[in-house]
Each structure stands twice: as C-alpha cells, then as structure tokens.
C-alpha cells in the first residue's frame, strides 16, 4: 500500500503532487479515498479537495486507464464516498460532471454531525469488495459524519435497485431497512448506506468498515468485520 499526501501550499507543490499521483496511480490496481475532516467536514469536507484534484486531466486520464484498461478497483469511505459521488465514479462508473438530478450526499436530517454505531445489511454482492461478506448479512460499524444522507430522485433509486448497485442499507434490530432515526441516523433515502458503480468495482459507503479490531467496540453486539479489505481478488 502506498499513501501520498497532496501538497498545496504553493503552485509548485500542486504540480509536483499531480505528477506524483499520476505516477502512483499508473502503477496501482486499487485507489482508495479515505475519510477525513478537512475544512471542518462542512460543506463536503475533504471530498471537495479530492474531487478538484481528480478532475485534473492528467489524473482523470490515469483513473480512466485504471478502470477501463487494467480492471482496477476503487473504494471510498465517508468523505471518500462523498468524493466518489462528486466525481461521478458512483453511480456512473467514470469521472463525469454532476447534473441537477445526480444522486448526492446531503446534510444529515438532524442538521448536525452524528457519531454512533450503525447496522447495515449487505443487499447486493455485485461488488468484489463485498465478495467475502454474507449476502443478507448485517454488520455493525461506526458512522461519523455531518453530510451522509444519500439523496436521489425516484428514477435514480429505481435504476440503482434494478442494477444491483445498492450495496448496503441501514437496518433495524430485526434486519429490516428503515427510515427510523435511531437506525438510519442521517435519513438516507431508502435507507441506502453504500452504492457501487454499474459493474460493482467501485464501492462508496458511509460507515467506517476500516475502524475495527479485536479490541475495538467489544461491548457492541453484532458482527463488525465485512472483510472489505480481504475481499478483492
């Protein structure tokens, strides 16, 4: 795994960072956008910076090659999911401009940041990121965001469901998708927590599947490991 910080203090820093990103992506099979609280997480947090950088023609070209020529994978969690949405990588599968009717992630219905454990059900195993998870299985992970409400019009919602692009949904104690605030804390439409690109190789989700460990949240009931980071083959 290679982690690179995008430096933007000076114009030369930006140019060098773009060349660095371009070079690293050209040698990679997977690109991941992590979560982060840049700019206070509002509005859009670090997602707006991810999106600005990855719309650069040089980087956009490498992402296109990754997805179209090398059978690559992409993952975005929390603010990383926001970045994928803004870039169009989910649900479109390519870097595109957002349209007025494009799905997006909006402010939580309670109007503030939420931080709690949530229960999500895997409702599609189309994505290789979820190939090790149990279809219909419920997994408990922490959510921590101010803008995590998935919003889309009826046409998009129907399309995503029919294509199997709705990967995970917020569910209640009985495993049923719900709009109840206790279980769907941001008010996402159709209780959608994660979606994929049309072919499933790009996954975006809000809950932090990476924030788990043998000594973490031991007092919380439920399976916490979706095996996201062991699944891609």
Active-site amino acid positions: 78, 208, 210
- Which of 128, 120, 99, 132 minimizes the C-alpha distance to 205? 120
Q: Is the dihedral of CA 120, 181, 40, 196 positive or negative?
A: positive
Distance CA(105)–CA(151), nearest Å, equals: 6
Helices (H), 55-176: 57-68, 79-87, 89-92, 154-162
Packing angle of the helix pair 79-87, 47-54 (nearest 10 deg): 40
Q: Are 66 and 28 in contact (CB under 8 A)?
A: yes
**CB-CB contact of 22 with 58 (8 Å):** yes
What are the percentages of helix, strand and coil residues in the chain, rounded to 5? 30, 20, 50
CA 112 to chain CA mean position, Å? 20
């Amino acid at each position: 795994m290679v982690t690179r910080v995008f430096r933007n203090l000076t114009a030369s820093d930006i140019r060098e960072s773009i060349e660095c990103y371009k070079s690293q992506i050209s040698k990679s099979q997977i690109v991941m956008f992590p979560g982060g609280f840049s700019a206070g997480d509002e509005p859009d947090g670090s997602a707006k910076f991810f999106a600005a950088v990855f719309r650069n023609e040089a980087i956009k070209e490498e992402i296109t090659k990754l997805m179209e020529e090398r059978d690559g994978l992409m993952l975005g969690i929390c603010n990383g999911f926001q970045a994928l949405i803004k870039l169009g990588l989910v649900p479109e599968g390519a870097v595109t401009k957002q349209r007025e009717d494009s799905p997006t992630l909006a402010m939580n219905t309670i109007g503030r940041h939420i931080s709690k454990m949530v229960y999500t059900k895997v409702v599609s195993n189309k994505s290789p990121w979820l190939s090790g998870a149990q279809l219909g299985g419920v997994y408990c992970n922490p959510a921590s965001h101010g803008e995590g409400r998935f919003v889309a019009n009826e046409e998009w919602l129907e399309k995503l469901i029919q294509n199997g692009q709705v990967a995970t949904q917020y569910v209640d104690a009985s495993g049923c998708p719900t709009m109840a605030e206790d279980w769907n804390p941001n008010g996402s439409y159709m209780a959608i927590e994660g979606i994929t690109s049309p072919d499933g190789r790009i996954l975006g989700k809000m809950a932090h599947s990476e924030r788990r460990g043998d000594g973490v949240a031991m007092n919380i009931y439920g399976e916490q490991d979706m095996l996201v980071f062991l699944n891609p083959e």
